[in-house]
Amino acid sequence: MCEIDLLPGFGERLKEAIQRKGYTQKELSEILGVNQDTITNYVQERSFPKADMLLNICQLLDVSADWLLKGETEYLDMTGLSDEESKLIRIFRMLDLRDKEEIMLILKLKYDLTLHRKENSNPHNNGNK
């Protein structure tokens, strides 16, 4: 029987994400409530997680499913981000292109408004531009 390599590189990317987050495979298995052999099998590509487990792994390790499964997007190191910032990034990734463009426009407008307010509140500015 011919063995098919379904997700080439999945195990290496998983291993990298685990290490970047500072976990061991044992720690990850304990957090996820699975046997350590389950994580080892994922890393060695002997088996692959079901969808719900995959989503839990991605959320815990702060990686996208696209990156973990296919390596198609760059790994985004989200260490140092607050839970709120990480959540915003995850939500943003789920939006379609049009919604992302709208959000980016709103963010730029809010950013420009914040800069304008700071300029006007600067005591050294004296209203001169």
**CATH number of the domain where residue 37 is located:** 1.10.260.40
Contact 79, 19 (CB under 8 A): no
Report the Cα 88 to chain-centroid distance in Å.
Answer: 10
At residue 114, φ and ψ (nearest 5 deg) are -65, -45
**Same domain (yes/no): 24, 70:** yes
**Same domain (yes/no): 11, 62:** yes
At residue 103, φ and ψ (nearest 5 deg) are -65, -45
Q: Is the dihedral of CA 45, 61, 58, 80 positive or negative?
A: negative
pLDDT digits (tens, 9 = 90+) for 96-126: 888 889 999 999 999 999 998 988 887 665 5
What's the number of domains the chain is made of?
2
Distance of alpha carbon 107 from alpha carbon 32, whole angstroms: 35
**Same domain (yes/no): 97, 70:** no
Residue 59 belongs to a domain: yes
User: Closest by alpha carbon to 68, among 101, 91, 93?
Assistant: 93
pLDDT digits (tens, 9 = 90+) for 2-60: 444 567 889 999 999 999 889 999 999 999 999 999 999 999 999 999 999 999 999 89
Residue 129 belongs to a domain: no
**Same domain (yes/no): 113, 93:** yes
The domain containing residue 113 runs over which residues?
80-123
**Same domain (yes/no): 71, 54:** yes
Residue 96 belongs to a domain: yes
**Same domain (yes/no): 48, 86:** no
Q: Which residue has the tokens 């990850």?
A: 28
